[in-house]
Structure 1
């Protein structure tokens, strides 16, 4: 399960733990805690930490993380690319300039372009929002600097090559390791390395950095998950160098299969995808489109997993399925960092079709990897238009604040009860520790199977009716049929 601590049935870590080990027992075997560092309500919902080594006091303290880790695996974020402009490090640098012990920690335009930058250099830089990745900043000591800010002006990029940058990131890894965290996700790592004359995103030097950082994590007993939205072949390359990658191609491909009634593109991806993947349908961000599209740098020679016109139509169908709510939260319609994602709950992207939703989750759970369920998706959540209207941040459409009463009530919804049964089956059935296979008897069908000894589990899907069933059994037992409806 992936969740914010304060948006799923309470405000504190102990309250969250009570829900996961209580009503969700057996369904959730591990938890990814979205940024719980001080403070959680900055410019980007905790992804702009003021103090990356401190738990926000409103949520709890490090001993609460340690207590949770005794019950299950715990994942936390390492925000690799940047930190808050309100951080003690930046405030010290702002006061003292080059005399600060943190001089060199923050990336300036001059650091990357010591001889100046041409128009071509600047236009080559890739970033997830329009405009240049710099902010003109007057420091408290009166100095004016052109700071590198890939995301927002409040998120100051770190120079990861300097001793100060290396020490800062290592201190985070050490604190997480000491507190019982077992896996870390490298957030925004694709932007961490900058180089004059390059696009500054997922370059060979970035791969080298990821490899070295992952090795340091392993030395501290931490597995490393890399979060990258990009051309699908880049994910395959990254998977060879780290413990885990996200399968961000899966969500739009599952939607494509259900909307177009064809299993071909999904099966093609299953045949080549890396298996050391965390599988998702929804996250705290939007539903990625770039992950199955053509390579933006060479569309002719590097096509996507689905034709361009079908990708465009898929986006339109998501908008229509959500009664155009997602259109109001996506792209230039709202304050979005990521213009290549559709902001919508996955349940709404499927038109709130319970059968289709359970089929989508079953496909996710049968594809090799570690299945991860977002807290809103766990409750088959619907678009939060009130929160969107309040914040005018597109991604908030899928970041609802659930009270404890809401959680307990939604756990009784028929679609949620079936989803929890499905999750418990995935967590407990021995077949999922065996061999995997996939097939399709017809274009509108999909069969995914697992077998270990006499234990087996087989998912059969009819994409034209958006329905399916799971047939499973153990040695000597009669087959059990789990209808997805």
Structure 2
């Protein structure tokens, strides 16, 4: 069972400048006792593909440049350890797909990959193509000529280097089963189902989060549970979809929370945030920042479904983030840089808030008091700013928030008041018993109070957004103590 403690999201190489062993040393040294778990971002071969490891050539092999499965076992010995099961696709450079390119339909791996013909055997109309939900610009098909002289349209939901798996056939099932078995044998106890909403495609639909997808996720979760692992569904979609998915898997991400906190801070208005906290899934992980951008659609309208924020509020939110980051985020978002998502703003959360220490610490406090197990991205842990040099070098939008650190940079960051304050908040979230109790939230307009109660113990975060006053009050029987959030920055 996952610990109810804050988890770190990180790449092994980008946080340490080294490897998995160095990450373990960091967590047992300067960060000892800070985190209850780690989401180790793709450590498969290769870690430096076109999508930073999310395009594995071999999903069952640790990239030898950063370690071995034995290193994974050591990391997961005392911590919850999450790994990504990349459900939707595999690298075009994988030996399986290279064999398909060489032999076409004569390849033993032909059935592993999804083609347009698999879903549209009688051809696809223009209307059917327009109906397909797209997370990124361009077509979801890439024509490729194979060694049999034929050209086939392969499904490439994300990029032409990420070939979609046919998860319905025996070859696709066996491929994912092999990875799950490898995880369970090496101390991985949490599985993040990456891009799971795109796994099932069906003619005449938008090919995203179909009824059949819910059943597929349900079965995949049960399979992981039988191997002693919990599952987290990674799906960016309308907020009501998250509520429904939460009923079918062990846990989901609360992706609506990050934009709602920003909206509250930008407008001194908590109504949308409070509405969400009344109905949000309790079996969730909370994030503000991840290796991806800051999700927007999770709080906004979709089609004829109204959002927690309306279209104008979403536009204002995005423009305020761009302004706060001195338009750095604009250079990394949308069509401005390659391999980016349409529904995310690429920017550090710290810069999205204009690099204001108090607002950033307040955002984290709200995250930690919201229902769910909190995760903190390594760039967010150290209050990193946008890495414009890395963005310029790679032209990959999300690299703006995927910095390469080392011991010297970490030592410097750990001395910053905002980082010291954040670590104190993390420890409070980990240690206070009331966070295992009942949650309640109330307020209106520019004020709110988030409270956790367990028997005669409670802890509450009271915020006045207009005056930027925030207090944390702890009650233990007859004893009551209050600290100002500002005091954590002293």
For the superposition of Structure 1 and Structure 2, which TM-score range results when normalised by the shorter chain?
over 0.9
Q: Tell me, yes or no, if structure 1 residue 95 matches structure 2 residue 108.
A: no
Tell me: CA distance 1:403–1:143, structure 2 relative to 1, closer, same or farther (3 Å).
same
Contact persistence 2:446–2:464 (CA under 8 A): yes
Offset at residue 478 of structure 1 (A): 4.7
Contact persistence 1:13–1:64 (CA under 8 A): yes
- Where structure 1 has 5 or more consecutive residues not aligned to the other structure, the ranges are none
Offset at residue 5 of structure 1 (A): 0.8
TM-score of the superposed pair, with normalisation by structure 1: 0.97
Q: What is the CA RMSD across the aligned residues, in angstroms? A: 1.2
Q: Tell me, yes or no, if structure 1 residue 132 matches structure 2 residue 139.
A: yes
Q: How does 1:265-284 map to 2 (within 5 A)?
A: 265-284=272-291
Q: Tell me, yes or no, if structure 1 residue 55 matches structure 2 residue 62.
A: yes
* Per-residue Cα deviation, 1:353-378 (whole angstroms, up to 9, x for no partner): 11111110000000111000000000
Offset at residue 477 of structure 1 (A): 4.3
Offset at residue 259 of structure 1 (A): 0.7
Structure 2 equivalent of residue 202 of structure 1: 209
Q: How does 1:439-478 map to 2 (within 5 A)?
A: 439-440=442-443, 442-475=444-477, 477-478=479-480
Offset at residue 480 of structure 1 (A): 4.3
- Where structure 2 has 5 or more consecutive residues not aligned to the other structure, the ranges are 1-7
Matching residue within 18, 31, 47 for 1:24: 31
* Runs of 4+ off more than 6 Å: none
Question: Structure 1: how far apart are the matches of 2:413 and 2:289?
Answer: 18
Contact persistence 2:362–2:485 (CA under 8 A): no
Residue aligned with 1:292, SS:
coil
Residue aligned with 1:400, SS:
coil
Residue aligned with 1:104, SS:
helix
Offset at residue 482 of structure 1 (A): 4.5
Q: Tell me, yes or no, if structure 1 residue 69 matches structure 2 residue 71.
A: no
Structure 1 equivalent of residue 382 of structure 2: 379
Offset at residue 436 of structure 1 (A): 1.2
Q: How does 1:263-412 map to 2 (within 5 A)?
A: 263-296=270-303, 298=304, 302-412=305-415
Contact persistence 2:334–2:342 (CA under 8 A): yes
Question: Structure 2: how far apart are the matches of 1:139 and 1:40?
Answer: 27
Report the count of equivalent residues.
480
Offset at residue 89 of structure 1 (A): 1.2
Offset at residue 24 of structure 1 (A): 1.3
Contact persistence 2:382–2:413 (CA under 8 A): yes
Offset at residue 169 of structure 1 (A): 0.6
Offset at residue 476 of structure 1 (A): 5.4
Offset at residue 433 of structure 1 (A): 1.0
Residue aligned with 1:8, SS:
helix
Structure 2 equivalent of residue 437 of structure 1: 440
Residue aligned with 1:372, SS:
strand
Contact persistence 1:434–1:451 (CA under 8 A): yes
Question: Structure 2: how far apart are the matches of 1:443 and 1:144?
Answer: 58
TM-score of the superposed pair, with normalisation by structure 2: 0.96
